[in-house]
Structure 1
Amino acid sequence: MRAWHQFYPALPASQRSEQLRAGFGALIGISLCAALVSLGATWAGPELFLVAPLGATAVLVFCVPNSPLAQPWSAIVGNVTSALIALLAIRFVPAPWTAGMAVGTAIAAMMVMRALHPPGGAVALLMALDPALALEAGPVFALMPVGVTTAALVLAAIIYNRMTGRAYPFRHPDADGVQDPALRLGLSTEQLGALLERFNQSTNVGIADLGRLLAAAEAEAAQHRFAGTTCADIMTKNLITVQPGTTLTEAAQLFRAHAIKSLPVVEEGMRLRGLVLQSDLLAPMAAGSGFGAQQQIAAPCTVADVMRAADCAAPHDLAVGVLLNRLAVQGTEVIPVERDGRLVGILTRSDMIRLLLSGAEERSAA
């Protein structure tokens, strides 16, 4: 019985909503292509018609739109390239080797073009089995009907997938390599690509989606790891704050007196304006401003001039595990914690270390 398990379905059960979404999308896409063929008959003649492999393309672009095999470049270029290769095989390769040569060479050509698309193999085989139309049309056959109908189906998939909440075309990493750091897990685009190559999955999953999957898995694991602990549970609540008009001299004195590493900048009602770290005061010091009791600080002279943006604040009820990567890998030193738009605490690496040590003691006792 164990041997038979490897023949069981490999795909997990899909949600009913996804079944309906994908099936209805394919219905719409193929129907629109059929309508295009019908309307185009008046100006394109019999050269424009549906080809059977278009059904396989519909499966990819509507069921697995995040797959690299389903992307517009793969679909259009893959089908067109396969048609051109098959036409060459029909003309120059004798039977019974025509079909095998057409399909095998089409696959190799698609891989060279970085346009691997499984229906392209079906396009090549269809032409090898029934070459009359392809020979009559010549190279134009690759553009019409193959290229035109594939492009129409891809266009329908782009509109439909986006309307139903699916990302299509594929989400490529930014050209400059900059991505949301929360989704990077400390791994570069090159490292994520290397992981896909190591497990031979580069044709199944894209780099951007792998990063999102890993980030989601890390966040889920972190929430389990800390048993639902939130920022409010471990944050530092007794805060020492400054106002935008506080001078740099006063801020330096607070740093020395209280052995703290950050000063939240707040306005009336504890509304967070920014954050000042010890390092933010080093530039004025290096410029010769000085912080002696008898010295006056030249511009910049207030914390408002040197504070950093407060866009990294976290809600009080956020699970601390979500912030673990930000504190541990991305170099963040302190995270302000807000509730209803008001500053209520500060989360630091020290707070996280205390939580980790507390968990270690509990595990040792168990």
Structure 2
Amino acid sequence: MFPFRLKIRQTPLKGAQNFRASKTTRLIKMHALHHLYPALPAFQRREQLRAGLGALVGISLCALVVRIDAVMGGSALFLVAPLGATAVLVFCVPNSPLAQPWSAIVGNVVAAVVAMFAINFVPAPWTVGVAVGGAITAMMFLRALHPPGGAVALLTALDPSSAQDAGLLFPVMPIGVLTAILVVAAIFYNHLTGRVYPFRQPKPDDVQDHAHRLGLSNAQLGALLARFNQSTNVGVADLGRLLAAAEAEAVEHRFDGTLCADIMTTDLITVRPDTPLPEILKRFRQHAIKSLPVVGKDMTLQGIVLQADLLAAVATSGLTATGRQRQTAQFAADVMRPAERAVPHDLPVGVLLNRLAAHGSEVVPVLREDRLAGILTRSDIIRLLLRGAEERTAA
């Protein structure tokens, strides 16, 4: 009985093992095939139509120019297949560094020049390899990498008759001229359809808003792209915009949509523009504050007085060397500074944090319909941060 029972128990175990093994094998195969799935996200239909229509316009314009040249008896212009690839870049991904005017025009032209050299001086079977490899090297050297340039070199090396018929001007006509026409068409078309082309080229001394938010200069963003070998995929300005948007999104999630109105101090101590300086000094002594908002009768914000401003005004008081009384500040309006960094009450706290970090402000007036509604200080922000830390610790 025992061997018979043991045999019955072993049979389902073996079947279960086989099932698990086959399931594991299927999972491994599915995981391997996963890397072959489309890497690009699904395009919006509007973007599909925009890019396709742009390519239609650009290539049709090139074909029209070729047709006019033929009617007028010319023979220097003719369509080449790599222009289709250039159209894909300048109309579908106009923000790519590979699609920019310098890359497109110079890349295609220099590739044609290298291919002309290869077909005239390099014997077979090395002609094709030298044409393509040399074109890639030259484009990278000139910072004009453009994938269709490799196709220009390959097509010219495989079928040199057209290039030889065109002569030494082949890199310029038709390659350079038709690429330039396509690029100009892309500039106007992308502008009309809401895309930026050519892409943003930040100046070395240009301080962008995203740089304020990120705390990174354009040089640092460029170094970041070079570090991850992404300089050919995205520009410095676009990287800054993406990182700033991601940072803002993360901060918004971090504070769960908290607005300035939710944490601002509403028990306000204010002064009027005609408040005398002794009265301002008295209020600073009576209350543990570092600033005093200056408001009108209807609580419209006029300015703000900081302790440092008041001390500077007091320091200038007294007599001159001739015994005459110095012209000193008398009222709040004389020492207040403009409240240029006031924020609306419905501003997310995360955005305010970026501004505080960038400008180093210690106090921020909060407005509701252009009237002073509250004050935000670093202490208010610290309390919010500590409250979040306590909630995370309890969770």
Deviation at 1:358, TM superposition (A): 0.9
Tell me how large the CA RMSD over aligned residues is.
Answer: 2.5
Structure 1 or 2, whichever has the larger Rg, is 2
2:17 matched residue in structure 1 = none
1:316 matched residue in structure 2 = 345
Distance of 2:374 and 2:197 partners within structure 1: 41
- Quick check: 164-173 or 298-307, which moved more? 298-307
Letter in 2 for 1:337: V
- In structure 2, the CA distance between the partners of 1:87 and 1:287, relative to structure 1 (3 Å rule), is farther
1:158 matched residue in structure 2 = 187
Letter in 2 for 1:173: P
Residues 1-42 of structure 1 deviation map (CA, whole Å, 9 limit, x = unaligned): 211111111111221221111111111221222222223334
Distance of 1:289 and 1:146 partners within structure 2: 79
Correspondence 1:352 to 2:377: no
Correspondence 1:13 to 2:42: yes
Contact conserved, 1:226 with 1:321, CA < 8 A, in 2? Answer: yes
1:190 matched residue in structure 2 = 219
- In structure 2, the CA distance between the partners of 1:91 and 1:319, relative to structure 1 (3 Å rule), is same
- In structure 2, the CA distance between the partners of 1:162 and 1:173, relative to structure 1 (3 Å rule), is same
Match runs of 1:176-255 below 5 Å:
176-180=205-209, 184-246=213-275, 250-255=279-284
Where structure 1 has 5 or more consecutive residues not aligned to the other structure, the ranges are none
2:360 matched residue in structure 1 = 331
Letter in 1 for 2:190: N
Letter in 1 for 2:67: S
Distance of 1:277 and 1:110 partners within structure 2: 58
Distance of 1:296 and 1:263 partners within structure 2: 27
Q: TM-score, normalised by structure 1?
A: 0.90
Letter in 1 for 2:225: L
2:63 matched residue in structure 1 = 34
Distance of 1:287 and 1:156 partners within structure 2: 64
Deviation at 1:239, TM superposition (A): 2.2
Secondary structure of 1:86's partner? helix
1:104 matched residue in structure 2 = 133
Distance of 1:62 and 1:72 partners within structure 2: 12
Residues 88-144 of structure 1 deviation map (CA, whole Å, 9 limit, x = unaligned): 111111111111111111111111111111111111111111112222333311111
Identical-pair percentage: 70
1:272 matched residue in structure 2 = 301
Contact conserved, 2:112 with 2:171, CA < 8 A, in 1? Answer: yes
Contact conserved, 2:90 with 2:99, CA < 8 A, in 1? Answer: yes
- Quick check: 161-170 or 203-212, which moved more? 161-170
Where structure 2 has 5 or more consecutive residues not aligned to the other structure, the ranges are 1-29
Distance of 2:144 and 2:88 partners within structure 1: 17
Deviation at 1:302, TM superposition (A): 5.0
Q: TM-score, normalised by structure 2?
A: 0.84
- Quick check: 98-107 or 249-258, which moved more? 249-258
Distance of 2:247 and 2:167 partners within structure 1: 53
- Quick check: 247-256 or 79-88, which moved more? 247-256
Residues 43-99 of structure 1 deviation map (CA, whole Å, 9 limit, x = unaligned): 571211222111111111111111111111111111111111111111111111111
Match runs of 1:23-102 below 5 Å:
23-43=52-72, 45-102=74-131
Letter in 2 for 1:136: D
Distance of 2:80 and 2:194 partners within structure 1: 29
Distance of 2:180 and 2:312 partners within structure 1: 57
Distance of 1:296 and 1:348 partners within structure 2: 38
